[in-house]
Structure 1
Amino acid sequence: MAKVISARKAPGFARGYQVANATRAVCLSFAVAMGAGVATIPQVAYAQSYVFNSVNIEGNRRVEPGTILSYAGIARGQRVSAAELNDAYQRILGSGLFETVEIVPQGSRLTIRVVEYPTINRITFEGNRRIKDEDLAQAIQSQSRRVFSPRVAEADALAVSRAYEVQGRLAARVTPKVIRRSDNRVDLVFEVFEGGVAEVERIGFVGNGKYSDRRLRRVLETKQAGLLRAVIRKDTFIEDRLEFDQQLLRDFYASRGYVDFRITGVNAELSQERDAYFVTINVEEGQQFKFGEVTVTSDLSDVDAELFSSKVRLRKGKVYSPSLVENEIARLEKLAVNLGLNFVRVEPRVTRNDRDLSLDVDFRLVRGERIFIERIDIEGNTTTLDRVIRRQFEVVEGDPFNPRAIRESAERIRALGFFNKADVEAREGSSPQQVVVDVDVEEKPTGSISFGGSYSTQNGFGAAFSFSERNFLGRGQSFSFRINTAADTQQYGLRFVEPGLFGRDLSLGFTFAYTETDNDNAVFDTTTGVFQPFLEFPVAEQARLQLRYSLDYGEITSVDTGVGGIVTAEAAEGERYDSSLGYTYIFDTQRKGLDPNTRYRFEFGQDFAGLGGDTTFVKTSAKAIAQTMVWNEEVTLRATLEGGALNYTKGDSRVTDRFLLGPDIMRGFSSGGIGPREIGPGGVDDSLGGNFYAVARFEAEFPLGLPEEYGITGGLFYDIGSVWGLSDATKNKVGAGNTVVSTGFDARHVVGFSIFWKSAIGPLRLNFTEALQKSKWDEPQNFNLTISTQF
């Protein structure tokens, strides 16, 4: 009697795997025929043995008989037991090529009957809107013209579900289905129910005493659900992002001296509706430590520790921060390279003093391993040229290998903003003394085109078009073009910058701008243009210098009959060209300042006209800004001092050249609302601007007690400033019967309240002002809406 060994797949598609006939709308379960192998051999069959002189294979269409025999592993004339027959069909089933397998021993003949899995004709996705078909196709393993596998299809459905989980759609369901076609083919369809987004309804902290929940929430990448949840997706619950947030918290506390800070637990509770999470982060802050003694010692006879010690900026009493220690190490190692001391490494030794809560740091100079860079390999840059990436490295092939320098280069590559991913790793090269630096990047879009409208309290409604590309032609260059038209103003601009001239930190570029205005009240029109090539480079670690040439064009036209004599006389001069050379020195502590909560910026520039053109003058401008955070970083204090001066030795200034302050410099007044004016009978009231100006602004920004997710904070400010100064030649142009007023220094005082709103269209600022001291001829402005900017 023949013993039949057979196996069929048991139910395996927990998500509802189904089969549908192409000519009938009938779906039958395809899973019954697919599952774990089950042998139907009686228990006594294991005592029997067989010898087969021939093997007959039936049912195979694509798979060669030799392939099936190789899986079976049964040779002609070989004596096999029933257990070995069972192993044979288990191997055939395990190949994943067959839907069913039967092994029938018939005397000296063995018959193997198989039913092959169908071939996938095509793969489609239905019901997906949030993720495109091509993106989902990259997440699955099943492919067209390959053998269909229920196990793989089930894994693919899970992979698609995980793709939606990354977007916070935890309720997403994916059901794989097959549609039968002719010639043993099937269409594989993934039916997707995307579901809603699981948002972070609330983020709370337990154990924090130094910093409030509001302050700590500002540190996190994850945000609470707010008014703009349909636009801002950072309130979506993503587990990986929450892991990143924990590291951000550790870095935040470490940079403020809390070296013992720990996160003891993170609890994310899902609401019953499965559409919101309540996240609680348990922390232990510990004590704040400061720097104690900072020293430099050397184990090397040829290295002078005193020289290195004189370059250390850290001082006793500063709040401890690992980033400051890293900055000092980088500075000292760079000094060693400049002195020709290769392979000198700086190893910090930190000694803890619990009594006075200080950390002594000893920078120890040691000899590092003699390892050189064999080569730098760059992959993945389909658009960006290799040289753009290579110039972010301060080393080249053949230089000594410094791991810290490589890490800094990796950060500079990421800071370019050209790549979604930028991985930089070092591996052993052709010898233990050689390393190969591998750079693997993934390009991302760097250009944008925008169309939109605008509104300002000065110029009314307008339309705008802009195009910008931060990685022009893959060369790392920036190029932008903009058009902005309003009721009273038309602006056109073009800008190009090459940031790495000759492979160095040397920027070369030019700016072109053209503006037509009617000077607010349509009493006369102005046309101005400027072409300005420039060169910018670093002169110190935190300082840069810009050198430039400027060719300026100005003209005053369409003067009304009610305009005063000064503007009329200046308009009669016609077109004017100014040719000047200038420079601007910028010092900024943002990158490597010693205090993460405090920042200083200073700018000083001058332009010297007379290199051709119609005038000779010196234009000087200066600005100093200081900002700090107080009250456990809840309140931001900011002070700004700025001023300018125009001094002519040939020709004279015109209204298009002089300083006309707007609300962005002196709040509480309209553009040109303060300073010298020509007034007279018949409604003459011309704002002339001044040759000098000085403004001091003081402000505080603080929370208003509103939920943080609204993105609304408040501010108080106090401004004091003035515009003054006209030459005698200008005053002599005054019209008959008119008077020039406000030519001397007369300080205006303004107080006000601001509302800062991080809106969907950008950070907005609403200023409500009141002038405490003003001139009778000034034009106060009690409200203005601007784009909020931070220095």
Structure 2
Amino acid sequence: MKKSSILIAGSLSVASLTAAVARAETVTSIVVEGAARTSAEFVRSHITIWPNVEFAGSDIDDSIRQLYALGQFKNVRITVARKELVVVVEENKLINQVVFNGNQKIKDDNLALIVKTKPTGPYDEAQIKSDIEAIKQAYAATGRTDVDVGIKTMVLSPDYVNVAFTINEGEKTKIDSINFIGNSAFSAERLSSVIGLKKSNLLSFLTRKDVFLEEKLEADKKALANFYTTHGFADFEVLSAEAHFDPSDKSYALTFTLNEGPLYSFGKVAVLSNINGLPDGELEKALRTKQGERYNADRVETSVESLTNVAASQGFPFAKVTPRATHNLADNTISLEYQIDQGEKSYIERIVIRGNTRTRDYVIRREFDVSEGDPYNRQMIEASKRRLEALGFFKSVDITATQGSAADRVVLTVDVEDSSTGSFGIGAGASSDGPVLEASVEENNFLGRGQYIKLAASGGWDDDDSRNYSLAFTEPYFLGYHLAAGFDLNYSETSYDDYDLDQAGLSLRVTAPINEQLASTFRYNLTYLDYGGDSSDLSATYQHLIDDGPWVRSSVSNTLTFNSLDSVKQPRSGIYATLTEEFAGLGGDSQYFKVTGKLRYYELLAEDADVIGSLTLGGGQIFAFGSSLNTFDQFSLGGNEIRGFAKRGIGARIADADDQTLGGSSYFYGSAEVSFPLPAVPRDAGFRGTFFADAGTLFANRVQVLGSDVVEGDNGSLRASVGVGLVWDSPFGALRVDYALPLAYEESDELERFKIGVNSAF
């Protein structure tokens, strides 16, 4: 009995204490003590308790947390006494100066941008710890993972302190080896070209592709999965991705263990719609997967997106497309049934964008086909995510959907991390006129607005060589529409043997997409040409260009562009084709109608060896609105189209005057090329060899020849060449060296067997 009584009494005491803590209280005043630099009113405004308003113990806890979160107080204590809330604070010291010691690889100015501890701000130990981690992460991005960061303080007065971050940068790590286990369909060399991490080499200090980070390893796992599933291996998985660090030489050994699975082709492909009113014909046209073709996960995803768009266009915005795959191991096929159902009706309540410190919100929002109040459709959101990733503005893009204020309301949260989008390039090349220096500044996300701008200049090493200056600007969403509008400005000064040519140009353009692969570009072009020199040393035809100049050409043009390439940087399959029509005669000195076209086709000839074949065809015809054309209006043909010949080296010209070319009103050419990795050279170095064969011609001169001038090289004979090339995907851009042997040419042609310059595929 006695023991039971004690237990009951104890229980009552605990219950009474709990009730007292939970019981609501009120105070008549709030007293702040210890606030010297901050006002009492400032402290009161950052707590959750008010006079004569009931509060609980949890409100005291919340108030203490909020005051600590300000970073201005070292200690905070809140008590209740005689209907008064007493808030006692101990202020942090103020920072007089922030310095960095021991850093060489990252400069003070860059570190100052990384840390949030600033002069005149409070000394906050929690923020100091966060800044130390931020500095370590910045060094990890440069390949220094064993950096040590400490903190030293110097008290200047009771209120002020100096802060010094002491940094031991350590040694740079490297990647010594990259190994693959379980791969049989593709060699280690081919898989190494797929992933972003690379073995350390002599150029790693420029590319930094040998900097190991865990997030890069995760990205490479996804890259391998994407590569395999788009090449027929639907069951592929990365069993493990390990990074072994050897502290003795500060190096990593990467090992990817793979399970390739069988190679699949598409089996039967069908669409099953459970929504009445969807036209079967439109659904079949939307499919990007065909029976008998090699399995490709990207085409499955594209088919889902296309079917979703068809359903939305037919008045079913909530349609849900689910691809159902059936594996047949007997013949290694995957049959697909795209099932279309009416999804749950839900609407987008809000789109919240976070993490974009540089890119403006509207640049992100305009990549969405939906906005607040529109029906929520998962496939459309996934398509928007892919478009955001394709911009190249962000390191990462993540979109999550959570329930909003009601069951049928969805809040989309878009988390992004801005990446560097600008570049500065400088290099050297060569043209038919001699060595050339080039420099350019390029920004793909100008001022965070998603705009493109490029400023470039080039010139020869000698005073007599050409000078070229250009400025390009593009607004990808002109007036809020999906129209890419922009302009191109260029100015050049070129010195030839017998004359000079100053040329200035302006081009205004608007590009409208027709579908995913086809676009139309309208341009207005204005060109000013001024020929100079001693006309007595020139032919009568070229004397006319100097004496009757300067000249103005005003034209409008439209270009249709078809692009199905799998990659712009290094295409391995697909077609890039253009067809341009130009009309000149809107004022100025030129009157003609011109048609030009170019097509380039790529195909991977050997998957594992990464041998790429390409075929190029081009041609053009110009029609004069009169009996003749100006010299500067006709086509020119040379080493850019048929290697082994100089710039403007083919076609009609004034006899015994190499630089006084006339060109022609018709041309065509073709080229075949095979590109392959150099043997015995690591593929990570970015070197590829080429074999090529070119052929073509330029003919039908329509320039009125004056005086006693004699024309040569206008017989329209076929020119041809074969050769070898070396392409280097350098940190400064793709550089190319070609050596061509002309097989068919005219005596009047100007040959140029060796050429070095920037590689341009299109």
Answer whether TM exceeds 0.5 for this pair.
yes
Residues 239 and 473 (structure 1), Cα distance of their counterparts in 2 relative to 1, 3 Å cut:
closer
Deviations 1:22-70 (A, max 9, x none): xxxxxxxxxxxxxxxxxxxxxxxxxxxxxxxxxxxxxxx9899xxxxxx
Instruction: Identify the match of residue 452 of structure 2 among 478, 485, 499.
Output: 478
For residues 523 and 127 of structure 1, the distance between their equivalents in structure 2, rounded to whole angstroms, comes to: 60
For residues 533 and 159 of structure 1, the distance between their equivalents in structure 2, rounded to whole angstroms, comes to: 45
Of stretches 561-570 and 196-205 in structure 1, the one that deviates more from structure 2 is 561-570
Q: Where do residues 85-100 of structure 1 align in structure 2 (5 Å cutoff)?
A: none
Deviations 1:234-285 (A, max 9, x none): 1122232122211211111111111222323334333452322222222222
Residues 135 and 404 (structure 1), Cα distance of their counterparts in 2 relative to 1, 3 Å cut:
farther
CA contact (8 A) 1:118 1:185 kept: no
For residues 263 and 586 of structure 1, the distance between their equivalents in structure 2, rounded to whole angstroms, comes to: 38
Instruction: Identify the match of residue 651 of structure 2 among 675, 696, 718.
Output: 675
Residues 482 and 162 (structure 1), Cα distance of their counterparts in 2 relative to 1, 3 Å cut:
closer
Instruction: Identify the match of residue 430 of structure 2 among 432, 435, 456.
Output: 456
**1:639 has 2:615 as partner:** yes
**1:659 has 2:619 as partner:** no
Residues 448 and 291 (structure 1), Cα distance of their counterparts in 2 relative to 1, 3 Å cut:
closer
For residues 522 and 123 of structure 2, the distance between their equivalents in structure 1, rounded to whole angstroms, comes to: 67
**1:264 has 2:252 as partner:** no
Q: Where do residues 10-89 of structure 1 align in structure 2 (5 Å cutoff)?
A: none
Matching residue of 2:479: 502
Matching residue of 2:685: 710
SS at match of 1:611: strand
Matching residue of 1:13: none
Matching residue of 2:55: none
Per the TM alignment, residue 406 of structure 1 is displaced from its structure 2 partner at its CA by 1.5
Residues 118 and 385 (structure 1), Cα distance of their counterparts in 2 relative to 1, 3 Å cut:
closer
Deviations 1:558-588 (A, max 9, x none): 1554433332344444233333222111111
Q: Where do residues 316-355 of structure 1 align in structure 2 (5 Å cutoff)?
A: 316-355=291-330
What is the one-letter code of the residue matched to 2:759?
S
Instruction: Identify the match of residue 722 of structure 2 among 745, 751, 754.
Output: 751
**1:493 has 2:441 as partner:** no
Of stretches 654-663 and 155-164 in structure 1, the one that deviates more from structure 2 is 155-164
Matching residue of 2:494: 517
For residues 372 and 549 of structure 1, the distance between their equivalents in structure 2, rounded to whole angstroms, comes to: 43
For residues 610 and 117 of structure 1, the distance between their equivalents in structure 2, rounded to whole angstroms, comes to: 77
Residues 719 and 464 (structure 1), Cα distance of their counterparts in 2 relative to 1, 3 Å cut:
closer
Residues 141 and 351 (structure 1), Cα distance of their counterparts in 2 relative to 1, 3 Å cut:
farther
Residues 124 and 430 (structure 1), Cα distance of their counterparts in 2 relative to 1, 3 Å cut:
same
Deviations 1:662-694 (A, max 9, x none): 3222211111211112215xx677332221221
SS at match of 2:520: strand
Per the TM alignment, residue 421 of structure 1 is displaced from its structure 2 partner at its CA by 5.0
CA contact (8 A) 1:564 1:684 kept: no
CA contact (8 A) 1:523 1:563 kept: yes
The alignment's TM-score, normalised by the length of structure 1, stands at 0.77
Matching residue of 2:553: 578
Of stretches 613-622 and 696-705 in structure 1, the one that deviates more from structure 2 is 613-622
Residues 529 and 501 (structure 1), Cα distance of their counterparts in 2 relative to 1, 3 Å cut:
same
**1:287 has 2:287 as partner:** no
For residues 474 and 162 of structure 2, the distance between their equivalents in structure 1, rounded to whole angstroms, comes to: 53
CA contact (8 A) 1:140 1:159 kept: no
Per the TM alignment, residue 440 of structure 1 is displaced from its structure 2 partner at its CA by 4.1
What is the one-letter code of the residue matched to 1:247?
K
Residues 157 and 583 (structure 1), Cα distance of their counterparts in 2 relative to 1, 3 Å cut:
closer
For residues 383 and 254 of structure 1, the distance between their equivalents in structure 2, rounded to whole angstroms, comes to: 34
Matching residue of 1:28: none
Residues 481 and 120 (structure 1), Cα distance of their counterparts in 2 relative to 1, 3 Å cut:
closer
Per the TM alignment, residue 352 of structure 1 is displaced from its structure 2 partner at its CA by 0.6
When the two chains are superposed, the root-mean-square deviation of aligned CA atoms in Å is 3.5
For residues 607 and 148 of structure 1, the distance between their equivalents in structure 2, rounded to whole angstroms, comes to: 66
For residues 735 and 424 of structure 2, the distance between their equivalents in structure 1, rounded to whole angstroms, comes to: 22
| Long gaps (5+) in structure 2 | 1-32, 37-72, 76-89
For residues 216 and 543 of structure 1, the distance between their equivalents in structure 2, rounded to whole angstroms, comes to: 32
What is the one-letter code of the residue matched to 2:611?
V
CA contact (8 A) 1:542 1:591 kept: no
Residues 687 and 371 (structure 1), Cα distance of their counterparts in 2 relative to 1, 3 Å cut:
same
Matching residue of 1:613: 588
CA contact (8 A) 2:242 2:256 kept: yes
What is the one-letter code of the residue matched to 2:388?
I
Instruction: Identify the match of residue 553 of structure 1 among 528, 532, 547.
Output: 528
Per the TM alignment, residue 131 of structure 1 is displaced from its structure 2 partner at its CA by 3.9
For residues 623 and 200 of structure 1, the distance between their equivalents in structure 2, rounded to whole angstroms, comes to: 43
CA contact (8 A) 1:200 1:225 kept: yes
For residues 274 and 168 of structure 2, the distance between their equivalents in structure 1, rounded to whole angstroms, comes to: 66
Which structure has the greater CA radius of gyration?
A: 1
Residues 535 and 62 (structure 1), Cα distance of their counterparts in 2 relative to 1, 3 Å cut:
closer
Per the TM alignment, residue 392 of structure 1 is displaced from its structure 2 partner at its CA by 1.3
Residues 244 and 656 (structure 1), Cα distance of their counterparts in 2 relative to 1, 3 Å cut:
same
Residues 357 and 428 (structure 1), Cα distance of their counterparts in 2 relative to 1, 3 Å cut:
same
For residues 434 and 154 of structure 1, the distance between their equivalents in structure 2, rounded to whole angstroms, comes to: 40
For residues 557 and 619 of structure 1, the distance between their equivalents in structure 2, rounded to whole angstroms, comes to: 27
What is the one-letter code of the residue matched to 1:513?
N
Matching residue of 1:787: 758
CA contact (8 A) 2:583 2:594 kept: yes
For residues 723 and 596 of structure 1, the distance between their equivalents in structure 2, rounded to whole angstroms, comes to: 29
The alignment's TM-score, normalised by the length of structure 2, stands at 0.80
Of stretches 427-436 and 458-467 in structure 1, the one that deviates more from structure 2 is 458-467
Residues 137 and 475 (structure 1), Cα distance of their counterparts in 2 relative to 1, 3 Å cut:
closer
Deviations 1:746-781 (A, max 9, x none): 111111111111233222111011111211222211
Residues 165 and 539 (structure 1), Cα distance of their counterparts in 2 relative to 1, 3 Å cut:
closer
Per the TM alignment, residue 181 of structure 1 is displaced from its structure 2 partner at its CA by 6.6
Per the TM alignment, residue 457 of structure 1 is displaced from its structure 2 partner at its CA by 3.1
SS at match of 2:205: coil
For residues 183 and 499 of structure 1, the distance between their equivalents in structure 2, rounded to whole angstroms, comes to: 56
What is the one-letter code of the residue matched to 2:633?
D
Deviations 1:440-474 (A, max 9, x none): 44555655666x56442323345556454444455
For residues 358 and 604 of structure 1, the distance between their equivalents in structure 2, rounded to whole angstroms, comes to: 39
Q: Where do residues 399-438 of structure 1 align in structure 2 (5 Å cutoff)?
A: 399-438=374-413
Residues 527 and 131 (structure 1), Cα distance of their counterparts in 2 relative to 1, 3 Å cut:
closer
CA contact (8 A) 1:117 1:148 kept: no
For residues 451 and 130 of structure 2, the distance between their equivalents in structure 1, rounded to whole angstroms, comes to: 44
Matching residue of 2:6: none
Q: Where do residues 65-214 of structure 1 align in structure 2 (5 Å cutoff)?
A: 124-131=99-106, 135=111, 161=136, 164-176=139-151, 189-214=164-189
Per the TM alignment, residue 189 of structure 1 is displaced from its structure 2 partner at its CA by 4.6
CA contact (8 A) 1:590 1:600 kept: yes
For residues 231 and 365 of structure 1, the distance between their equivalents in structure 2, rounded to whole angstroms, comes to: 50
**1:627 has 2:602 as partner:** yes
Matching residue of 2:509: 534
For residues 779 and 456 of structure 1, the distance between their equivalents in structure 2, rounded to whole angstroms, comes to: 16
Deviations 1:401-450 (A, max 9, x none): 11221122233234334445544333222211111223344555655666
Q: How many residues align?
A: 672
Deviations 1:464-485 (A, max 9, x none): 5645444445543334444433
Deviations 1:590-644 (A, max 9, x none): 3699x99421111111112233333321111000110011212510111111111
CA contact (8 A) 1:142 1:152 kept: no
Matching residue of 2:748: 777
Matching residue of 2:48: none
For residues 152 and 537 of structure 1, the distance between their equivalents in structure 2, rounded to whole angstroms, comes to: 49
CA contact (8 A) 2:321 2:341 kept: yes
For residues 510 and 586 of structure 1, the distance between their equivalents in structure 2, rounded to whole angstroms, comes to: 18
